[in-house]
């Protein structure tokens, strides 16, 4: 009898734990968003002031792709800012690689897939590419795929801010034409 009673209590407790874990997966505790599915309403986003309709299901006869708009914690100013990078001038793009965030793939795209006036020269079998400015023998990119591990393996922001100027100055001195005496 006691064994049967233990089983009867275990099943509801396990079900409640399963539902709690599932709810935390769908609606994380530190997040202000929670997505629910309803047949007549669409997709909702929860805020402290209630629910706001974010996406409504399209009619079946529309050929438009479905899109779910998401809200991030970026301000309009952050998203609309303009960065003026002068590849012909003295500007250098420093790529800070953060592990496990797709940085290796993004770093490869920087040297292989960007449409530039003078694209990076990547030779087969070599790990580093040469990324010169148009008409100059200076590098515009500081990353592991262009300069190698010049500041150490997986250098962080602190290491890069002290190391990059020193390394770039050394490279500029080597590439500068030597004056005749």
Q: How many CB atoms lie within 10 A of CB 156?
A: 12
Active site residue 132: no
Measured distance CA(72)–CA(25) in Å, rounded: 18
Q: What are phi and psi of 117, to 5 degrees?
A: -60, -45
Which of 82, 97, 132, 154 does the annotation list as catalytic?
154
Q: How far apart are the first and last CA of the chain?
A: 104
Per the listing, tokens 């290491």 go with 159
DSSP-assigned states of every residue in 50-108: EEEEEE-PPPTT--SPP------S--HHHHT------TTTT--EE----TTTTHHHHHH
CA-CA-CA-CA torsion for 32, 38, 40, 42, nearest 10 degrees? Answer: 40
Q: Which positions are annotated as active-site residues?
A: 154
């Amino acid at each position: 009898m006691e064994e049967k009673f233990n089983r009867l209590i275990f099943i509801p407790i396990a079900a409640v734990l399963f539902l709690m874990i599932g709810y935390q997966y769908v609606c994380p505790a530190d997040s202000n968003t929670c997505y629910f599915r309803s047949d007549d309403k669409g997709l909702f986003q929860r805020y402290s002031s209630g629910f706001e309709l974010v996406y409504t299901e399209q009619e079946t006869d529309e050929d438009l792709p479905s899109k779910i708009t998401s809200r991030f914690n970026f301000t309009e100013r952050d998203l609309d800012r303009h960065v003026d990078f002068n590849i012909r001038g003295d500007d250098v793009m420093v790529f800070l690689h953060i592990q496990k965030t797709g940085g290796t793939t993004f770093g490869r795209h920087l040297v292989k897939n960007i449409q530039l006036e003078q694209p990076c020269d990547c030779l087969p079998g070599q790990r580093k590419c040469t990324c010169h400015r148009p008409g100059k023998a200076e590098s515009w990119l500081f990353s592991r795929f262009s300069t190698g591990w010049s500041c150490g393996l997986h250098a962080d922001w602190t290491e890069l801010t002290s190391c990059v100027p020193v390394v770039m100055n050394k490279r500029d001195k080597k590439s500068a034409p030597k004056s005749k005496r």
